[in-house]
Amino acid sequence: MSKTVKLKKGFDIKLVGEAEKQLADFKPAKTFAIKPTDFIGMQRPKVTVNEGDTVKAGTPILFDKAMEKVQYVAPVSGEIVEIKRGDRRKLLEIKILADSSISYESFDKFSEDALRSLSKQDAIEQMCKGGVWPQIIQRPFGIVANPEDTPKSIFISGFDSHPLAPDYGFLLQGEEKYFQAGIDVLSKLTSGKIHLNVKGEGAVPAIFANAKGVELNKFSGPHPAGNVGVQIHHIDPINKGDIVWTIHPYGVVQIGKLFLEGKYDASKLVAVTGSEAVKKGYVKTYIGACVDPLVAGNIKQDNIRVVSGNVLTGEKINRDGYIGYYHHQITLLPEGNQYEFLGWMKPTASRLSYHRALGLLSFLSPNKEYVLDTNTNGEERAFVQTGVFESVTPMDILPVYLLKAILAEDFDEMEELGIYEVVEEDLALCEFVDVSKHPVQEIVRKGIDLIQYS
């Protein structure tokens, strides 16, 4: 039975620089990269190609020795130009110089009718060798799912409430056939429900409204209403021993294309956002694209930070870096590496703050969009017990006590306080509102690793 959930806790960070809903004119990227660091939980990556090799889109280039069945494949055809390693030969990137015209590996094709009789094992085999399996993320832990497991349910968030997030209706327009095919394949992987969660306010995009074989739930309220972890918590909570799988709608479309077209199609729309971007819009590219064509000549000033993803959970990258595997936007914002006279004590209405502190008057203009830089305006200090974490976390957990249990490495407390229900993004707002400037997301990942590998 479909549910409607109205959330009151949370906070919308309204920034200048939302992408216009149109394709922007950018030069195409020439190089692409797969970064093992994008796949949390990958323990022992093994490269299956060498520099100078030629590959097609869908050619296996990497696998994890801990889960050899799952192949990580090239997003484009071309030449392997660099296998970049860091300290202790840690694998950082596999770079591909793309062909001007993309060629594809061939996989089995299925008609829409044939998908209905597809077996679970055949579906898993095709997804693993066809490169789309890494789109499926397991909760708890937020890692690539193990194809040997069976989830109690599968969750798809049909909207993103992060700052300057792309519009899914625009991102996935025209992909209705493939989305439905992807849902049909995913239905083979669980005996439970597939929950498709959409925004409660406004019209539901056609790609979601017309989907069959899903339970359509509506969520309304401030961020993090669009986080799939929050949605799981309110629809089908995770207890110790439970497994739930999640997948982005783009991943569902990718699965559908693999089965209907017989190819690994890594093409995607990426939103170019942020106050420092001259042109803001969407660009059609492929997974792992170099951001240089999106940044060069498209910045208002030189002192900027390039973020793959959003400002809360994204990754800082170089101006010639590569978009993360799971990211659908880049954000260009001012670098906050300068000192400000009087700091937070200076009366101003131009700085966004969750707190109604002296001098921070943003609460008087709740719909105003702000230009924010990366300055944290302070350094790490002792936890201050204010109750503010709980006010931005729409889950029945106590974030401060959970974080303290992680720092104390108290396993029993971590489990009792909800470590199985969260990943970094679910408590990212706590990091934004934290007057003590703690790396909340790093602490959460530390706790997850302690529980997972203990």
As a whole number, the mean pLDDT across the chain is: 93
305's CB contacts (< 8 A; 6+ apart) are 316, 332, 333, 334, 335, 374
pLDDT over threshold 80, residue 341:
no
Split at pLDDT 50, 70, 90, the class of 340 is low
Q: How confident is the model at residue 348 (pLDDT cuts 50, 70, 90)?
A: low
Q: What secondary structure does DSSP assign to 345-368, as a single string? A: GS-BSSS--SS--TTB-GGG-TT-
Residue type, 274: G
Per-residue confidence (pLDDT) for residue 338, from 0 to 100: 73
Q: Kindly state the average pLDDT of the residues 140-168.
A: 98
Alpha helices in 148-278 (DSSP H): 168-171, 176-186, 206-209, 228-235, 249-261
Distance CA 2, CA 206 (A): 17
Q: What is the mean pLDDT of residues 170-186?
A: 97
Residue with tokens 């062909």: 99
Residue ranges of the alpha helices (H) in 30-167? Answer: 112-116, 120-129
Split at pLDDT 50, 70, 90, the class of 359 is: very low
Is the distance from CB of 112 to CB of 181 less than 8 angstroms? yes
Q: How many CB atoms lie within 10 A of CB 122?
A: 14
Contacting residues for 163 by C-beta, under 8 A, at least 6 apart: 13, 14, 15, 223, 310, 311, 312, 331
Residues of the chain above pLDDT 90, percent: 85
Work out the pLDDT band at 350, boundaries 50, 70, 90. Answer: low
Dist. CA 114–CA 135, nearest whole Å: 23
134 in Cβ contact with 325 (< 8 Å): yes
DSSP string across 384-449: ---SHHHHT--SSS-HHHHHHHHHTT-HHHHHHTTGGG--GGGGHHHHHH-TT---HHHHHHHHHH
Give per-residue pLDDT as tens, 429-444: 999 999 888 999 999 9
Name residues whose C-beta falls within 8 Å of residue 165's C-beta, 6 or more positions apart in sequence.
159, 226, 271, 310, 329
pLDDT greater at residue 379 or residue 373: 373
Contact, 308 vs 315, CB < 8 A? yes
Distance between CA atoms of residues 53 and 101, nearest Å: 17
pLDDT digits (tens, 9 = 90+) for 115-135: 989 999 999 999 999 999 999
Closest residue by Cα to residue 305 from 281, 336, 326, 278: 336
Tell me which residue has tokens 């394949």.
185
Q: What is the mean pLDDT of residues 172-190?
A: 97
Structure tokens of 17?
Answer: 């620089």
Q: Could you identify the residue written with the tokens 């499926």? A: 136
Question: What percent of the chain is modeled with pLDDT above 70?
Answer: 95
- The residue extents of the domains of the chain are 4-261, 388-453
Task: Classify residue 283 by burial, with Cβ atoms within 10 Å: 0-12, 13-18, 19+.
Answer: buried
> Higher-confidence residue: 344 or 51?
51
Asked if residues 213 and 193 have their Cβ atoms less than 8 Å apart, the reply is no
282-310 per-position pLDDT tens digit: 999 999 999 999 999 999 999 999 999 99
- Average pLDDT of the residues in 390-419: 96
Among 256, 269, 318, 326, smallest CA distance to 290 is for 318
Three-class SS string for 199-223? ECCCCCCHHHHCCCCCEEEEEECCC
> Cis peptide before 140, with omega less than 30 degrees from 0?
yes
Distance CA 141, CA 405 (A): 17
Select from 236, 235, 324 the least CA-distant residue to 37.
324
The set of residues, in sequence order, having a beta carbon less than 8 Å from that of 443 and lying 6+ positions away, is 403, 406, 407
- Over residues 303-336, the pLDDT tens digits come to 999 999 999 999 999 999 999 999 999 999 999 8
How far, in Å, are 282, 292, 308 from residue 27 at the CA level?
A: 12, 9, 18
How far apart (Å, rounded) are the C-alpha atoms in residues 320 and 308?
A: 11
Residue 285's nearest CA partner among 296, 297, 295, 293 is 293
Q: Does residue 215 register a pLDDT over 70? A: yes
- Contact at 8 Å (CB) between 29 and 293? yes
Mean pLDDT of 160-173: 97
pLDDT at 99 over 60: yes
